Structure 1
Amino acid sequence: MIRLDGQSLTAPLLARIAAGEGVSLDEGALAMVAENRAVVDRIVAEARTVYGINTGFGQFATVVIPPDQLQQLQLNLVRSHAAGVGEPLPKDQTRALMAARINCLLKAHSGIRPEPIRLLADCLNRDVVPVVPSQGSVGASGDLAPLAHMALLLVGEGLAWGPAGLVPGGAALAEAGLAPVVLQAKEGLALINGTQLITALGNLAVARLQRLIPLSDEIAALSLEALRGTRAAFDPRIHAARPHPGQIAVADHMREILGATSAIAESHKDCHRVQDAYSLRCIPQVHGVTRDALAFAGAILERELNAATDNPMIFTDTQESRSGGNFHGQYPAFACDVLAIAAADLASISERRQERLVNPATSDLPAFLTANGGLESGFMMAHVTSAALVSELKGLAQPACVDTIPTSAGKEDHVSMGPIAARKLLRAVDGLEQVLAIEARMALEGVRLVGLAPAAGLDALRGRLSAACAPWTDRPMFEEIQATFRALRDHQEATA
């Protein structure tokens, strides 16, 4: 069980919940939730007019709702805001969404009772997962539509994933031995007002990039050996003179992987070349900035994962409700766009190394990494696939967060488009992983063709790739790429 307390959830932990691990709720945080809820009960009892508790929403904020209609108000809110369209989110992404919302509610500023939070956690632990359409949120006022689809499950409505397909939400709860809740004042709004779709998807991408970015250094090192590149560009003095943390870290990592020398390095130590192409020489500079981007954007997304993003906010100490803008998704949207740019750039330099590997004009290797050129096409089309992926990644790198379309009759006049940023980021990470797999397979074949041992620091990676992929003769390339992809996943697991 992964304990949720509103303040210590991380991207790797969220990824584990998404993959199926259960959650427990911190009892101290739940006690604070109950205290916070008492403020809402007091507001209702005193008949104070407070937005979100006994008024309409958005443009209808001036409409006061009588006490006997407050439950219906909250149910109506959830029903009407469940307006999503498009393909449903995969179950793992929806599980991440649920966990992120639980963690937000445990900050104890939402005015919700513990009961809906417990039910949401029970749904996670029994794998009762709502069907949440992927489109329909502009990322302010929060991810209203996706979270409303999630909230429908808690009141026994909407759809859920069943063993054989989609089932009614109420039936899914009953099958798991769970009962729906009746939403009280403020609780519908508490469930749907926040940035949890952007934040959940962004953190899932972070968890993957935390492994892929260091892996890209290893793959680049294998390419460098296959291309008989020099280690001179990784001299620590060069990088100390331009002290970007990511650049220094990558140069350190490359020296660690490549060691002092190798049989390949010894074979060309007296060659005429004094400088490599940028795709080899500038690995620390290009890979390095992706590390710095991940540090920057990852910190934003982790803070957002442990933030209260509701409106209005309920403050227990002063017994007050205050309206603000924590639901605005610009922070996580901006972070997701930065990471999509980083993924595209990392894939772009990988593709340039691939071109050098298959092009005999830029290496000492046979064309397309086959000794039987003409009869065999070798890795010709693998590079074409990589080029197609990189071109698509460049499109995905176009920021979503700079766009805005005013909604809610102009009240929501600047929105983040964060869910678009988050969804395209995950697509970018998928593409990057495939591009790196293609480079890894090419680099392995290049080293085989050189016929000398590369640096010992590459033994683990080379061993897994070699076990998955026999020396090349023309065969279905897609199977080869898939085998490499799986080998890289295994290598990431082993070195995590």
Structure 2
Amino acid sequence: MEGAMTVTVLRPGETALSAWRAIYRGGAAALDPASRAPILAGAEAVRRILAKGQPIYGINTGFGKLASVRIDAADLETLQRNIVVSHAAGVGDPSPEPVVRLMMALKLASLAQGASGVRLETTAMLEAMLTRGLTPVVPSQGSVGASGDLAPLSHMAATMIGVGDIRLEGVRMPAAEALSAAGLAPLTLGPKEGLALLNGTQFSTANALAALFETETLFQTALVTGALSMEAAKGSDTPFDPRIHALRRHAGQIETAEALRRLMAGSAIRASHLVDDERVQDPYCLRCQPQVMGAVLDLLRQAAATLATEANGVTDNPLIFAEGDEALSGGNFHAEPVAFAADMIALAICEIGSLAERRVAMLVDPALSGLPAFLTPKPGLNSGFMIPQVTAAALVSENKQRAYPASVDSIPTSANQEDHVSMAAHGARRLLEMARNAGAVLGIELLAATQGCDFHAPLESSAPLEAVRRLLRSRIPHLDDDRHFHPDMEASNTLVMSGEVVRAAGAVALPGVA
């Protein structure tokens, strides 16, 4: 398994979004050897701080509301084990394995900056689990996004000490058994290490990053399907004229318009109605694509900037500053930046799906598209694309309901000691399902737009769009008479979510997010 993986070298504090994407897509992660020095310095500082005999939160005291309880030196290892097993209190379905691996890599890069006070043995264990394909089973629910993602990260930490379950080569087994099979022994946690592992925003951040990467694919795919819908409806590319967008000055809008122009360049379908077209203006779902999708692009880039910063930060508490042997208590575990970023991604996903659904609705309506009703040669006898459009509408409305901002909510925890929380975890966790919904809408649009273009034969669209049509038709034939629609939709959805649609249109460079 190791040999098949691309290994991404983590440079703590300086890791690019492209590296996190590679890990999420299945790559392994290894620490930059330069991390060894700060890790050693942080662990040694913890030893010296303890020798002073002063109470230091989470090192020789209880946690949360129990911070005033002093712990004897003989019980410090037990204290760290206890916090891990007691806080491993999540519920719900297991988190997706790619998200868990990304969370582990984020935690590794955070610990490796030396401000968490963990030992080399601890970072080495996390690194070994990543490189040997051991993925903790982490329940997806139970974090309020402050004080860090305690429950999910505790489930991760528990497997490092041989408690809980791990997936190894797709098989779920007890953690101790999986560690043994990989040639690893359970870890004994030192002072502060349990707290360092389970405190932080890595669960929320991993979910938000995963959604960002999936949404980037959706955004680019939506430009392709939107251009195809424009061709199916014989829409005008005049609204994509660069002079229009230069006057408004939004970068995303300008780039989106340029991509749409390039996607349609050289189209015989467009040339066929360039002159003497009775229609003056197209519906907003066609004409305003640069304005809507450009705003989506700008929003996603803002979320990406926030998450890139968060991914390179240290977010546990207290933090160790080895230069002065200080342990400073703060609030870096509060995931408010991630909550805001997740809410922005949710809005973007909603709009990608919403605009695409309106294009599908336009295509099935002969009064708007000029195409046969419901894109079938024999409407009435056949229903054609009638119900796929209904499905798209259902998915769009479901996403709207899920997009209510998580960041505006809070509920006190830990006997009111932790009295304001971010709700970043479920704000980020909902996003992958929202992305799947939007992807299904785009899959329906891909089918509908390709079907619409079929009616213009022998006229063809541009080279990039024809490449996309050939891709789809290599899997799914033209719809003449009604047939079982679900397999067609599943196949189209796979093309969307896998990024194959974007790759097929690869002659045109589409704007990226991260």
CA contact (8 A) 2:266 2:461 kept: no
Q: Is residue 5–residue 107 contact of structure 1 (8 Å, CA) maintained in 2?
A: no
In structure 2, the partner of 1:413 is 419
Deviations 1:419-442 (A, max 9, x none): 111111111111111111110110
Deviation, 1:200, is 0.5
Q: Residues of 2 paired with 1:325 and 1:248: CA distance?
A: 39
Q: Tell me the secondary structure at the aligned position of residue 317 of structure 1.
A: helix
* Helix, strand or coil at the partner of 1:87: strand
Question: How far off its partner does 1:54 sit?
Answer: 0.8
- 461, 469, 480: which is aligned to 2:476? 469
* 2:502 matched residue in structure 1: 492
Whether the 8 Å contact between 1:225 and 1:265 is mirrored in structure 2 is no
Asked whether the 8 Å contact 2:319–2:327 carries over to 1, the reply is yes
What is the DSSP-based 3-state SS (H/G/I as helix, E as strand, rest coil) of the residue aligned with 2:323? coil
Structure 2 match to 1:482: 490
- Taking the TM superposition and a 5 Å limit, the aligned residue runs for 1:102-113 are 102-113=108-119
The alignment status of 1:7 with 2:13, answered yes or no, reads yes
2:59 is matched with which residue? Answer: 53
Say if 1:82 and 1:493 are closer, same or farther in 2 by CA, change over 3 A: farther
SS at match of 1:377: coil
**Secondary structure of the structure 2 residue equivalent to 1:92:** helix
Partner of 1:40: 46
Instruction: Answer yes or no: is 1:129 the counterpart of 2:159.
Output: no
Which of 96, 102, 118 matches 1:96?
A: 102
Counterpart code for 1:76: N
What does residue range 302-321 of structure 1 map to in structure 2 within 5 Å?
A: 302-321=308-327
Are residue 456 (structure 1) and residue 468 (structure 2) matched? no
For the residue of structure 2 that corresponds to 1:450, the secondary structure is: coil
Determine whether 1:115 maps to 2:125.
no
User: Contact 1:351 / 1:439 at 8 angstroms: preserved in 2?
Assistant: yes
Deviation at 1:194, TM superposition (A): 0.2
CA contact 1:11–1:207 (8 Å) conserved in 2: no
Q: Which residue of 2 aligns with 1:211?
A: 217
Matches within 5 A, 1:147-186: 147-162=153-168, 165-186=171-192
Q: Which moved more, 1:278-287 or 1:6-15?
A: 6-15
> Could you tell me whether the CA contact under 8 Å between 1:95 and 1:129 is conserved in 2?
yes
Q: Comparing 464-473 with 384-393, which one deviates more in the overlay?
A: 464-473
Relative to 1, partners in 2 of residues 1:12 and 1:482: Cα closer, same or farther, differing over 3 Å?
A: farther
Q: Displacement, 1:418?
A: 0.7
- CA distance in structure 2 between the partners assigned to 1:59 and 1:420 by the alignment: 24
TM-score, structure 2 normalization: 0.94
Instruction: Quote the offset at 1:268 in angstroms.
Output: 5.0
| Counterpart contact for 1:365–1:450, Cα < 8 Å | no
State the identity as a percent: 44
- Selected match of 1:356 from 346, 357, 362: 362
3-state SS, counterpart of residue 349 of structure 2: helix
Specify the SS of the correspondent of 1:362: helix
Answer yes or no: is 1:241 the counterpart of 2:251.
no
- Cα shift readout 1:5-63 (whole Å, capped 9, x = no counterpart): 21233444334323432222111112211111111010112212211111111111111
- The letter for the 2-side match of 1:125 is T
Three-state SS of the structure 2 residue aligned to 1:129 is strand
Q: Deviations over 1:221-278 (max 9, x none)?
A: 1100110111111111111111111111111111111126533432353111111111
CA–CA distance in structure 2, aligned partners of residues 164 and 119 of structure 1: 20
Indicate the RMSD between aligned Cα atoms, in angstroms. 1.5
Q: 1:163 to 1:255 in 2, by over 3 A?
A: closer
Whole-angstrom CA distance in 2 between matches of 1:220 and 1:300: 28
| Aligned-partner SS, 1:361 | helix
- d(CA) in 2 for partners of 1:145, 1:355: 43
- Separation in 1 of the partners of 2:254 and 2:353? 20
CA distance change for structure 1 residues 313 and 460 in 2, over 3 Å: closer, same or farther? same
Residues 458 and 403 of structure 1: is their aligned pair in 2 closer, same or farther, counting only changes over 3 Å? Answer: same
- Which residue matches 1:330? 336
Match of 2:430 among 419, 424, 432: 424
Is the 1:262–1:456 Cα contact (8 Å) retained in structure 2? no
Q: Which runs of structure 2 are paired with 1:372-383 in the superposition (5 Å)?
A: 372-383=378-389
Select the residue among 132, 141, 146 that pairs with 1:140: 146
User: Matches of 2:101 and 2:172 in 1, distance apart?
Assistant: 16
Q: Which runs of 5+ in 1 are unaligned?
A: none
Native 8 Å contact 2:218 2:352 kept in 1: no
Equivalent residue pairs, number: 496
